[in-house]
Amino acid sequence: MNSRRHPFFSALCFLSFSGSLIAFACYFWAALFFGKAGHLVVSVTNTRAMDGITPLYFFLFALFYGVSFAGVFQMWRLRRTGFFIYLFSQLAIMALPVFWLSWQAFSATNSIFTGVFLAGYLAFFKILK
């Protein structure tokens, strides 16, 4: 382990790795098996219909979560560009539902978690090259 990598920074990266990979897999699965995913989305969310949601919507989420993973990987390697890649992908993840569906699709919970993780990564920005 790199002596400059703080345990809290490592924990942030591990949680981001896990979240990004799980989300990537789920959204990719939802895009490939759109019909089955539609029934699941309606049953576990407050969405009552899949109007306006297409497989492309889920593929875009999978793409952005893959980019998020790449950004975290770069931060793990202590590269500053990873922070900006992560920031871009997280902003895209928050904006996609708003632009695709409506402003009511904005997720306050996602915004809070994104803010917490970005603040955590910013606290270690000086160790990134």
Can you tell me the distance from the alpha carbon of 60 to that of 12, in angstroms, rounded to the nearest whole number?
24
Task: Give the pLDDT score at 44.
Answer: 62
Task: Give the pLDDT score at 47.
Answer: 61
Sign of CA dihedral 12, 14, 18, 24: positive
Please report which residue ranges of 1-129 form alpha helices under DSSP H.
Answer: 7-32, 34-44, 55-76, 81-100, 108-123
**Residue pair 68/20 in contact by the 8 Å Cβ criterion:** yes
Q: What is the DSSP letter of 45?
A: S
pLDDT tens string for the chain (129 positions)? 455 789 999 999 999 999 999 999 999 999 999 888 777 776 666 666 667 788 999 999 999 999 999 999 999 999 999 999 999 999 999 999 999 888 888 889 999 999 999 999 999 999 999
